[in-house]
A and B are shown apart, each in its own frame.
Chain A
Amino acid sequence: MAEAMSTSRAINAAMRVAMASDPRVFLAGEDIGVYGGAFGVTDGLLGEFGAERVRDTPISEDAIVGMAVGAAITGLRPVIEMQFSDFVVNAMDPLVNQAAKLHFMYGGNVTVPMVLRLPGGGGTGAAEQHSQSLEAWFAHVPGLKVVAPSTPQDAHDLLLAAINDPDPVVLVEHKLLYKVEGPVEVRGSLAEVDPAFAGTVVRRRGRDLTVVSYSRGCAVALEAAERLAADGIEAEVLDLRSLRPMDLGPVIASVVATGRLLVTHEAPGPVGVGAEVVAGVVGSEAFDHLLVPPARVAGRDNPMPYAPGLERATIPQVEDVAAAARRLMAEDD
């Protein structure tokens, strides 16, 4: 039965379910024990599962992720919290050169079932080095999987699916979603979630244009859709949920119906997820249905600044998405 729960509680509950149902699962990260994690996501788990399975680590991101790779290839299922997603830059070797490649490089002789939780995104005033949306980096690497939940239920289920997955999965958690509440049905065990469930879903039906996003961008897109509806424009909002592999089938089907595509995300636009979505759509049967060129509303192309006005200007806002949608609607009329 579903209960109202914040995203951080939903993630916490997923870790509890996974730890209880599979002795191979353990957690590691900076200040995840007594402190409960910088954002409180691991709160209470130390008391429940003990220090052997809820491992506080030194501030050594390279060693944390490399250790997880070594544990994963020898039979465990590590779930790693990077305190901020930005810090994973210190661990790019174990993530990109090791975790992503070992299964392939060693001819299938090992699997790397590890999960890397990355609290990311801006809007908290934490500025350049604590606010990035780096998901496109990881989605670019063969061998990694990248998921980015937008709802508490998806955060819960995607984490369980990721833990159950034989491959390394990066879970992009937007920090501003942690306190967002929604109905969550807590699963009874890891096995209750099909690892293949994470396809693109329609969050809102609409006939006029297709708006695609993921993670916190979905909330922005849905709010924009409400404003557009007041003007008689019905936007269909799709949530990618998984960036690699990316399920573009529902996006293509939606664009075939609406003829207009808008992609929005907080990460900067150049060489980003939005470009991949647009390329996939224009390369599909949806091309002939496009009434206007697709558009992107992405993060401003600069590092995340500190001053509130500058930070706000760098992150796509509801009015930015709504305005872009109106432009798309105006172009062909």
Chain B
Amino acid sequence: MPRIDPATAEGARAALTTMWTIRRFEEALEDLYSRGLLHGTNHLSIGQEAVAVGVCGALEDGDLITSTHRGHGHCIAHGADPMRMMAELLGRVDGYCRGRGGSMHIADVAAGNLGANGIVAGSMTIAVGAALSMRMQQRDAVVVCFFGDGAANEGSFHEALNLAGVWRLPVLFLCENNQYGMSMSQNASTAGGSVAARGAAYGIEGRRIDGNDLDAVHAAAAEAVAGVRAGGGPALLEAVTYRYRGHSKSDRNLYRTLDEIESWRSERDPVDRFEAAAVASERLTVDDVDAVRAEARDLLRDAVQRAVRSPEPDVDDLDGAAYAGRSTAAVA
């Protein structure tokens, strides 16, 4: 059974709570950054919450995901503790990576998140290997490989789909198409215009879906995951969505108009849409929605307060840390 069924009142509440948690998490990062408390860079997924929550909500415990440089949402939706994520971004020892990885490299292996990745398409072949591993170990798990529209133009994308295709592996390739690879629009970067259509070349059914409609994302993901789990081989979904914020902190937004951003925010926001749909279908009341918002706000406030109290890592922690086994010379 999927973890979340948004068709039920309980599932709708869980989905909305997770979406708000992601949005508040990203907003908290902006706030910390503007106050000079957060260093480095980060990639915010505000506006893309329905993809992470819809997909991860359609998974079962034991299923695995691989994530991207814009991975905070995937991480939270797959069960991570926002406090430990925040601690990681703040470079503290209680972070998921002991402060070594930061925003782009959070892994929560215990929850089945094999890790975000700073290399575009870097996790795609890893996901294929994890899927092979699940099959060889006779585990019933499915691997979801999140990637962006930009990754579809990397060689790794094609090699990963081909290998998963010929080996019929249990992996769902989930393209989170936010329409820009940094400044490059998908129209300008992607011959043929569609990532989903590329699946056919590898014998993989590809579907393009509305990535800002949580119910639609969940339904499509649940169907695809069921087919993959049943042994049908890999699947490909292209969820069309939009990021409101810049690519990263250096983005001056020179490649798109404010009108474009505003039209997505005011008319197609995934959180607004799901709230309206859930209330209209009487899965949630307006009071429920208010309660969820407050809950997410309080959760993040608490997470930040605890994360900032986590100590900074000791430099000695780096000694030998690149290796699980011996890192120094053996004695002959």
- Interface residues of chain A, those whose CB is within 8 Å of chain B, are 26, 52, 57-58, 60, 62-76, 78, 93-94, 97-98, 100-113, 142-143, 145, 165-167, 195-201, 242, 245-250
Query: In the complex, A66 Cα to B163 Cα: how many Å?
Result: 11
A249/B129 in contact, CB under 8 A: no
Query: In the complex, A105 Cα to B325 Cα: how many Å?
Result: 15
Stretch of B117-125, B224-232, B273-281, B301-309 on the interface side: B117-125
Query: In the complex, A113 Cα to B328 Cα: how many Å?
Result: 17
A70 and B132 in contact, given A108-B321, A247-B332 (Cβ under 8 angstroms): yes
Contacts of B134 in A (CB 8 A): 74
A71/B130 in contact, CB under 8 A: yes
A75 and B137 in contact, given A199-B332, A245-B327 (Cβ under 8 angstroms): yes
A58 and B125 in contact, given A74-B133, A245-B327 (Cβ under 8 angstroms): no
A103/B332 in contact, CB under 8 A: no
A200/B129 in contact, CB under 8 A: no
Contacts of B131 in A (CB 8 A): 70
Query: In the complex, A72 Cα to B118 Cα: how many Å?
Result: 19
Instruction: Give the residue among B64, B95, B114, B166 with the most A Cβ atoms within 10 A.
Output: B114
A103/B126 in contact, CB under 8 A: no
Stretch of B23-31, B100-108, B184-192, B241-249 on the interface side: B100-108
Interface residues as binary, B150-170 with A (CB distance below 8 Å gives 1, 0 otherwise): 000001100110110010000
Query: In the complex, A161 Cα to B119 Cα: how many Å?
Result: 30
What are 22 residue pairs bridging A and B, where the CB atoms are less than 8 Å apart in the complex?
A52-B136, A58-B163, A66-B159, A67-B128, A93-B122, A93-B156, A97-B122, A101-B322, A105-B101, A106-B115, A107-B96, A107-B97, A107-B99, A108-B321, A110-B109, A112-B324, A167-B323, A196-B326, A197-B330, A199-B331, A245-B330, A249-B329
Query: In the complex, A249 Cα to B159 Cα: how many Å?
Result: 44
Contacts of A108 in B (CB 8 A): 98, 321, 324
B322/A74 in contact, CB under 8 A: no
> What would 4 more interface pairs be, CB under 8 Å, given A66-B129, A94-B125?
A75-B133, A103-B322, A106-B96, A106-B101
A106/B156 in contact, CB under 8 A: no
In whole Å, how far is B121's beta carbon from the nearest beta carbon of chain A? 8
> A61: nearest residue on chain B (CB-CB)?
B159
A60 and B162 in contact, given A66-B156, A71-B129 (Cβ under 8 angstroms): yes
Contacts of A58 in B (CB 8 A): 159, 162-163, 166
Please list the 8 inter-chain residue pairs (A to B) with the smallest Cβ-Cβ separation, ordered nearest first: A66-B125, A70-B129, A199-B332, A107-B97, A63-B159, A67-B129, A247-B329, A166-B324
A143/B114 in contact, CB under 8 A: no
A109/B97 in contact, CB under 8 A: yes
Answer yes or no: B284 CB below 8 A from chain A CBs: no
A105/B105 in contact, CB under 8 A: yes
Answer yes or no: B127 CB below 8 A from chain A CBs: yes
A63/B115 in contact, CB under 8 A: no
Interface residues as binary, B240-272 with A (CB distance below 8 Å gives 1, 0 otherwise): 000000000000000000000000000000000
Query: In the complex, A69 Cα to B99 Cα: how many Å?
Result: 22
Which residue of A107, A112, A245 contacts B101 across the interface (Cβ within 8 Å)? A107
> B323: nearest residue on chain A (CB-CB)?
A167
Contacts of B136 in A (CB 8 A): 26, 52, 71, 76
Instruction: Give the residue among B107, B130, B155, B329 with the most A Cβ atoms within 10 A.
Output: B329
Query: In the complex, A284 Cα to B139 Cα: how many Å?
Result: 52
B97/A106 in contact, CB under 8 A: yes
> A104: nearest residue on chain B (CB-CB)?
B322
Contacts of B132 in A (CB 8 A): 67, 70-71, 76
B96/A245 in contact, CB under 8 A: no
Which residue of A74, A103, A145, A247 contacts B130 across the interface (Cβ within 8 Å)? A74
